[in-house]
A and B are shown apart, each in its own frame.
Chain A
Amino acid sequence: MIESLHYLPVAGSTHEVLSERFTDLAPPLTDRQAAIESARCLYCYDAPCTRACPTGIDVASFIRNIHDHNIDGAATTILQANIFGGSCARVCPTEILCEDACVRNNDAEGQPVKIGLLQRHAIDNAQFDGHPFKRAPSTGKTIAVVGAGPAGLSCAHRLAMLGHDVVVFEARDKSGGLNEYGIAKYKLPGEFAQQEVEFLLSIGGIEIQHGRALGVNLQLADLHARYDAVFLGLGLGASRELGLTGENAPGLMAAVDYIATLRQAQDLAALPVPRRAIVIGAGNTAIDMAVQLKRLGSEEVTLVYRRGFDAMSATGHEIEIAKMHFVRMRTWAAPLDVLLDDAGRVRGMRFEETRLQDGRLVMTGGIIEIAADAVFKAIGQGMGLAALVDPLAREIERSDKILVDDCFRTALPGVYAGGDCVAPGQDLTVQAVQHGKLAALAIHHDIQSKAEAAWPT
């Protein structure tokens, strides 16, 4: 946790000045820009962009509506498929999804329609008279949803639409999951995450109880007994360990914890900021961490990855952002030791150089040391063990994540799961939203047909 950095200098400057550095990474389109951009859409049939969207948004239709000055219609089309259309427009790696599929990437043009920015334009400028979706007549059923992140709330919203009542149990103080606590501040600035949750809840029929953590003050067995179905949108709460001595030393912490603190900070100027930092990892979280440190004033941020650039899970777009912020990237180096000073605090790290040999990563024996005042690990998240400990929960089949069928049913009848906590998936917000939506449809179907969900044999 952030306390581990208490001895470091604070960011300084003022909250107002620093806040300026955490405004929108990509500014929104003006009306005129949206008109020009929407005119570029070819209105494809069986459109590749829609097929590339995990939530299957009818992109051609919403863009045509933008062009025809029907912004509310455009926003409704988006939200029908993806109730988190606003945050997805901001955080989706569109360059590997819809915009990658856009036919305007062809050789003659090489420039996709800016689908993400158009989606944001529609959502930001819609002027709904109340919530755009009506609830079906009450089914008299109540569903428990664990986790108020994109998966859980997407599921809750769709269930509410279908006429069910929903109780959402959330461990943290605020709803929104990673949108609230995990996404880089310059991607979802201000109160957007909370506003989106409020909008979603305005459909009605959804109650959220905060401070309720599965395995702590909430047991699956109780939920299973008391509700008509249970959806688990647990996320991946545990940061993976480096497995090195000194892992708990002051100055070393999980990137997600620092980002969560940063996102919630009332005073950015009071945040501890290392002059020199190391970020270990090569995913989007590692990039988010490195870039935000730079924006807070770190002089030297080195991102270290044990493989090469090609293997990085961060998208090309993210890597470009890191380069833009002068983040140094050191590849082919695996963590070896955490270096501590006399006071037992982090002073740097020692790495061993690596290379590929017959497709396997091997150590070369070459040693490098990088001095740093703090180290942030961003080497992935895991389920954590605490949540699924009660006897009933153990019946849920798991690998490192929860196993589900195509309809997001777990091995335990009446219990469904989706989002980052299920396998497989790329841990994208947009996928979590789709999981929640599909799980809601499955729950509805299973309840309606009274068919007992069964693990496929």
Chain B
Amino acid sequence: MADLSIDFCGIKSPNPFWLASAPPTDKAYNVVRAFEAGWGGVVWKTLGEDPPAVNVSSRYSALHGKNREVIGFNNIELITDRSLALNLEEITAVKKAWPDRAMIVSLMLPCEEAPWREILPLVEATGADGIELNFGCPHGMPERGMGAAVGQQPDLIEMVTRWCKTYTRLPVIVKLTPNITDVRAPARAALAGGADAVSLINTVNSITHLDLDNMVAYPVVGGRSTHGGYCGSAVKPIALNMVAEIARDPVTAHLPISGIGGIGNWTDAAEFIALGAGSVQVCTAAMLHGFRIVEEMKDGLSRWMDRKGYENIAAFSRKAVPNTTDWKYLDMNYQVIASIDQEKCIQCGKCYVACEDTSHQAIARLVDGNARRYEVKPSECVGCNLCEITCPVESCITMVPQPTGLPYMNWTQDPRNPRAEVVLSDA
């Protein structure tokens, strides 16, 4: 049985599944239910200065798929709307009752040293295992100079991180916003400020959809709306890339990463860990299905690790990082061609029309009376994967690597490259 426990920059947790700082970790009642369900840790919903924030009514909206499954989720909720004292009291009690679970406290304060200096000892006194700096919240708080307003300015990140490292001995995790051009800059700033880890991504600026009758976006608050933070499955690809960017940046290559963004099952978690995460944080999936999902996540991850022979999380952590590279180092001599399994084909014609209309006209449609047969034209196929993606039948269309007999040759080495770049002997 694989060992799921982790030591994330000194924070110990029985498994890598933490609940992200968000509504599910707002108060003791929820967090206790989460621990009972088996979560390895929580990041308590962001604390701020008193008086606490005030939230509006109507806070979430979603992008639904064809069967009303939630693809993306959006919220305009602010940080905790409960008093600092009450939160600290509950954190203390819960940590005491659940000593083996990771308890991280999320914080958001103005960019002034004094408030940070004052709050950090109070947090430390709760017995919490670490703090997470919320530099990512994209709605509401940036208008007050906090959240993503800090995360978008590397010098502020570095400054606040340094204050935190000065006034607490707890590990400091800096939570990054994706609403930025190059995520490596804030990650490097966090490292420069002394951060023990980064966590990402926070939510993406978004408007999910509109009420076209009333010409207002969702969620509607008294006839008006505002952009919110996007999360859920839809943001996973964005998050995975940002995690990988930091993991493969030589400057931050050894900085622990807590992966966040659309994690809903064990494969999502395994992907984040393989691309550089040491722990993963979940919110939307729990909000949609309840805390019980951690059971299947732990079970699935553990069985997969057993099958693969990974004894612990570290055994496969960052294993996909070396295979994630720049475009220019891809093998120009590699060639795949689509292959249609005629036994599995149901003649829906989707691959044909996709290729014919929008790609390389590499699928032939053979008409024989009422029967149809779709065949790949190997000489026309560029191996783009579009047909495989459109096919509704699993493993009916596969992309088959072709033996070219040619060695690895990347773009920097390619004679067709008009701007011969630095030629690397081994990329």
Q: Which residues of A contact B393 (CB under 8 A)?
A: 106, 108
How many chain A residues have a CB neighbour from B under 8 Å?
A: 16
- A67 contacts the other chain (CB 8 A): yes
Give Cα distance in the complex from A47 to B352, angstroms.
Answer: 12
Q: Which residues of B contact A104 (CB under 8 A)?
A: 346
- B68 contacts the other chain (CB 8 A): yes
Given A36-B67, A39-B66, A106-B393, CB of A46 within 8 Å of CB of B372:
yes
- A43 contacts the other chain (CB 8 A): yes
Which residues A318-372 have CB closer than 8 A to chain B? none
Given A35-B68, A45-B353, A46-B365, CB of A103 within 8 Å of CB of B346:
yes
Give Cα distance in the complex from A134 to B67, angstroms.
Answer: 36
Chain B residue, CB-CB nearest to A106: B346
- Selected from A36, A45, A67, the residue in CB contact (under 8 A) with B348 is A45
Which residues A106-157 have CB closer than 8 A to chain B? 106, 108
- B350 contacts the other chain (CB 8 A): yes
- Taking the closest CB of chain A, its distance from the CB of B347, in whole angstroms, is 6
Do residues B348 and A103 form an inter-chain contact, with CB atoms below 8 A? yes
Give Cα distance in the complex from A36 to B66, angstroms.
Answer: 8
- A44 contacts the other chain (CB 8 A): yes
Q: Which residues of A contact B347 (CB under 8 A)?
A: 44, 48, 103
Which residues A34-70 have CB closer than 8 A to chain B? 35-36, 39, 42-48, 51, 67
How many chain B residues have a CB neighbour from A under 8 Å?
A: 16
Give Cα distance in the complex from A353 to B351, angstroms.
Answer: 55
Do residues A44 and B350 form an inter-chain contact, with CB atoms below 8 A? yes
Give Cα distance in the complex from A218 to B159, angstroms.
Answer: 99
Q: Which residues of A contact B349 (CB under 8 A)?
A: 44-47
Give Cα distance in the complex from A35 to B352, angstroms.
Answer: 27
Give Cα distance in the complex from A45 to B350, angstroms.
Answer: 6
Do residues A42 and B392 form an inter-chain contact, with CB atoms below 8 A? yes
Q: Which residues of B contact A108 (CB under 8 A)?
A: 393-394
- B402 contacts the other chain (CB 8 A): no
Which residues B333-379 have CB closer than 8 A to chain A? 346-350, 352-353, 365, 370, 372
Give Cα distance in the complex from A113 to B347, angstroms.
Answer: 15
Give Cα distance in the complex from A104 to B347, angstroms.
Answer: 10
Give Cα distance in the complex from A338 to B99, angstroms.
Answer: 92
Give Cα distance in the complex from A192 to B418, angstroms.
Answer: 72
Interface class of chain B by DSSP: loop
- Taking the closest CB of chain B, its distance from the CB of A111, in whole angstroms, is 13
Chain A CB within 10 A, most for which of B66, B348, B365: B348
Q: Which residues of B contact A51 (CB under 8 A)?
A: 370
Chain B residue, CB-CB nearest to A104: B346
- Taking the closest CB of chain A, its distance from the CB of B362, in whole angstroms, is 15
Do residues B350 and A42 form an inter-chain contact, with CB atoms below 8 A? yes
Chain B CB within 10 A, most for which of A42, A45, A48, A67: A45
Chain B residue, CB-CB nearest to A47: B349
Give Cα distance in the complex from A44 to B345, angstroms.
Answer: 12
Scoring B residues 56 to 67 as 1 if CB is less than 8 Å from chain A, else 0, what string do you get?
Answer: 000000000011
Do residues A39 and B67 form an inter-chain contact, with CB atoms below 8 A? yes
- Taking the closest CB of chain B, its distance from the CB of A49, in whole angstroms, is 11
Scoring B residues 62 to 88 as 1 if CB is less than 8 Å from chain A, else 0, what string do you get?
Answer: 000011100000000000000000000
- Selected from B68, B348, B370, the residue in CB contact (under 8 A) with A44 is B348
Give Cα distance in the complex from A44 to B350, angstroms.
Answer: 6
Give Cα distance in the complex from A106 to B346, angstroms.
Answer: 6
- Taking the closest CB of chain A, its distance from the CB of B357, in whole angstroms, is 9
Chain B residue, CB-CB nearest to A52: B370
Q: Which residues of A contact B67 (CB under 8 A)?
A: 35-36, 39
Chain B residue, CB-CB nearest to A51: B370
Give Cα distance in the complex from A370 to B392, angstroms.
Answer: 54
Q: Which residues of B contact A67 (CB under 8 A)?
A: 66
Give Cα distance in the complex from A47 to B394, angstroms.
Answer: 20
Give Cα distance in the complex from A60 to B347, angstroms.
Answer: 14
Scoring A residues 265 to 278 as 1 if CB is less than 8 Å from chain B, else 0, what string do you get?
Answer: 00000000000000
- Taking the closest CB of chain B, its distance from the CB of A29, in whole angstroms, is 15
- Taking the closest CB of chain A, its distance from the CB of B7, in whole angstroms, is 45
Q: Which residues of A contact B352 (CB under 8 A)?
A: 45-46
- Taking the closest CB of chain B, its distance from the CB of A314, in whole angstroms, is 24
Q: Which residues of B contact A43 (CB under 8 A)?
A: 350
Chain A residue, CB-CB nearest to B65: A39
Give Cα distance in the complex from A51 to B372, angstroms.
Answer: 11
Chain B CB within 10 A, most for which of A36, A44, A51, A108: A44
Which residues A63-85 have CB closer than 8 A to chain B? 67
Of the A-B pairs whose beta carbons lie under 8 Å apart in the complex, a sample of 21, sorted by A's number, is A35-B67, A35-B68, A39-B66, A42-B348, A42-B350, A42-B392, A44-B347, A44-B350, A45-B348, A45-B352, A45-B353, A46-B353, A46-B365, A47-B348, A47-B349, A48-B372, A67-B66, A103-B348, A104-B346, A106-B346, A106-B393
Please give the residue numbers on chain B whose beta carbons come within 8 Å of chain A beta carbons, in ascending order. 66-68, 346-350, 352-353, 365, 370, 372, 392-394
Closest 7 CB pairs of A and B: A45-B349, A45-B353, A39-B66, A103-B346, A44-B348, A106-B346, A103-B348
Q: Name 6 extra pairs, CB < 8 A, besides A103-B348, A106-B393.
A: A39-B67, A44-B347, A44-B350, A46-B349, A103-B347, A106-B346
